Amino acid sequence: MNNSKVEFTATLISILTVKEALNSEMENFVRVRAAIDKRELNEDDVVAIFNISSTTSYQAFFIDKDTDIEKLKEELKKMNVRLNYDSEKILKRYIERVKK
């Protein structure tokens, strides 16, 4: 019997403002992430929305100037999810632009 865990993949589907997210079907996912992070929702904050492959689940993460992609990947890893390569590259480029 194979005891290895199934690993899921997170694919970036959107980067949007909290205001946009709250006016979409992603509202609950953003509210859950805010509660987990003990963070107040600010309409101008930015969130990255990921779809978890083979599921109907989504994960939202706040993206700030000091966002550490490795910490985000660790958070996903706790859920047995890895960040897809292209999504990681896009997110890294976005964060670099935000820092400027």
Q: Work out the number of other CB atoms within 10 angstroms of the CB of residue 87.
A: 17
Rounded CA gap, 69 and 63, in Å? 9
pLDDT, tens digit, for every residue of 27-63? 999 999 999 999 999 999 999 999 999 888 999 999 9
Work out the average pLDDT over 5-24: 94
Q: Which residues pair with 50 in a beta bridge?
A: 12, 59
Work out the average pLDDT over 71-83: 95
**What per-residue string of b and e applies to 53-63 under the rule 16 or more CB within 10 Å gives b?**
eeeeebbbbbb
Structure confidence at residue 1 (pLDDT): 46
Cβ(55)–Cβ(10) below 8 Å = no
**Gyration radius from the chain CA atoms:** 14
Any idea what DSSP says for residue 45? -
